[in-house]
């Protein structure tokens, strides 16, 4: 069972990314595949332009701001039953300032795998894959290296209520987890490691639970997303 976000071109005449095209071509007609589209007309036009099977259009299910609340429970049930669900928005990255955030959030809470076909912007992709609400979010950039600037910076940033994105070098991944355990063990976070790669690791939960699932925290490229909190 897995939810797969499929980023689509911003322009109608641009081709779909090759990996996404290959996956959709291989899976779209399978009985256990569900295709969620933001709008039927736009989705149909693009689908045919990309050379995908016309027969699959009959399987399209509209999943947008008007229907997501009604469909969310059924999609989760289908995923838990072993279905593979592809989510495509009209253009751009699903679940990033687009329908899908509530679905991704529900998947994480139910232990359902969420991934995406290739997308070039790791920041936007990490936010989308996190499932965190991001009507407002802050890109905080790279964490200072030296103390006491590092600790002071983290304490100040952790007071923010918005979803935040932090960057750090791979060899300080373990150190970052240890720092977060000391400063904010209950903050809900998301680590997106090696996004889009064969060893992709996506872990979400409070700091304490994420730390236990990261093992020895190998040196990996990653983006950290901290979920919003109420002051």
Residue 94: count other Cβ atoms within 10 Å of its Cβ.
Answer: 27
Question: Are both 96 and 135 inside the same structural domain?
Answer: no
The pLDDT confidence band at residue 179, using thresholds 50, 70 and 90, is: very high
- Kindly indicate the confidence band of residue 216, based on its pLDDT and cuts at 50, 70 and 90: low
pLDDT at res. 83: 96
Across the beta sheet with 60-62, the strand order is 60-62, 33-37, 84-88, 2-5, 113-116
Q: Provide the sign of the torsion angle of the four alpha carbons 35, 36, 41, 46, taken in this order.
A: negative
* Domain endpoint, select from 120, 139, 168: 120
Task: Please say if the pLDDT value at position 231 is more than 60.
Answer: no
* Predicted confidence (pLDDT) per residue in 134-174, tens digit: 988 999 999 999 999 999 999 999 999 999 999 999 989 98
User: What is the band of 98 on the pLDDT scale with cuts at 50, 70, 90?
Assistant: confident
Sorted by sequence, the CB contacts under 8 Å of residue 124 that are 6+ apart come out as 93, 96
Q: Give domain status of residue 125, yes or no.
A: no
The CATH number linked to 178 is 3.30.950.10
9 and 113 together in one domain? yes
> What pLDDT is recorded for position 214?
78
Which residues is 111 bridged to in the sheet?
none
For residues 144 and 104, state if they share a domain.
no
Please give the pLDDT value at position 160.
Answer: 92
Whether residue 231 lies inside any domain: the answer is: no
Spatial distance between the Cα atoms of 187 and 204, rounded to a whole number of angstroms: 11
The structure tokens listed for 198 are 């064969």
Residue 204's CB is within 10 A of a number of other CB atoms, namely 24
Instruction: Copy the structure tokens of residue 93.
Output: 């990255």
DSSP, collapsed to helix, strand or coil, labels residue 99 as: coil
pTM of the model: 0.93
Residue 47 CB contacts under 8 Å (≥ 6 apart), including other chains = 56, 57
Please report which confidence band the pLDDT of residue 219 belongs to, taking 50, 70 and 90 as the band edges: confident
- The residue range of the domain holding 18 is 2-120
Q: Which of 99, 120, 141 is the last residue of a domain?
A: 120
How many domains, the chain?
A: 2
Q: Are 6 and 116 members of one domain? A: yes
Distance CA 7, CA 219 (A): 28
20 — phi, psi (to 5°)? -60, -40
166 shares its domain with 110? no
Rounded distance between C-alpha atoms, residue 194 and residue 61, angstroms: 31
β 113-116/2-5 pair status: parallel
Q: What is the pLDDT of residue 217?
A: 58
Least confident of 12-16, 127-131, 133-137: 12-16
Residue 53: the pLDDT is 97
Paired residues of 187 in beta bridges: none
Looking at the structure, tell me whether residues 7 and 115 fall in a common domain.
Answer: yes
Instruction: Give me the mean pLDDT over the 45-72 stretch.
Output: 96
DSSP 27: H
For the chain, the average pLDDT equals: 93
67-71, 95-99, 126-130: range with lowest mean pLDDT: 95-99
Packing angle of the helix pair 173-183, 149-157 (nearest 10 deg): 60
CATH number at 66 reads: 3.40.1010.10
pLDDT of residue 77: 97
In this prediction, residue 7 has a pLDDT band, given cuts at 50, 70 and 90, of very high
Q: Which of 58, 88, 120 is the last residue of a domain?
A: 120
């Amino acid at each position: 069972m897995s939810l797969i976000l499929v980023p689509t071109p911003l322009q109608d005449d641009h081709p779909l990314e090759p990996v996404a095209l290959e996956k959709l071509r291989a899976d779209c007609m399978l009985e256990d595949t569900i295709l969620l589209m933001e709008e039927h007309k736009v989705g149909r036009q693009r689908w045919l332009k990309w050379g995908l099977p016309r027969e699959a259009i009959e399987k399209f299910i509209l999943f947008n701001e008007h229907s997501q609340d009604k469909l969310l429970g059924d999609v989760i049930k289908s995923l838990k039953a072993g279905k593979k669900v592809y989510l495509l928005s009209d253009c751009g990255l699903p679940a990033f300032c687009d329908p899908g955030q509530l679905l991704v959030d529900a998947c994480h809470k139910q232990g359902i795998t969420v991934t995406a076909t290739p997308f070039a912007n790791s920041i936007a992709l990490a936010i989308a894959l996190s499932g965190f609400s991001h009507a407002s979010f802050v890109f905080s950039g790279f964490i200072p290296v030296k103390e006491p600037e590092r600790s002071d910076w983290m304490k100040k940033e952790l007071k923010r209520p918005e979803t935040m994105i932090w960057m750090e070098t791979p060899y300080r991944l373990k150190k970052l987890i240890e720092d977060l355990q000391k400063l904010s063990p209950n903050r809900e976070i998301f680590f997106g490691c090696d996004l889009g790669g064969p060893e992709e690791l996506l872990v979400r939960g409070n700091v304490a639970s994420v730390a236990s699932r990261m093992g020895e925290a190998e040196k990996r490229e990653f983006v950290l997303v901290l979920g919003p909190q109420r002051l």
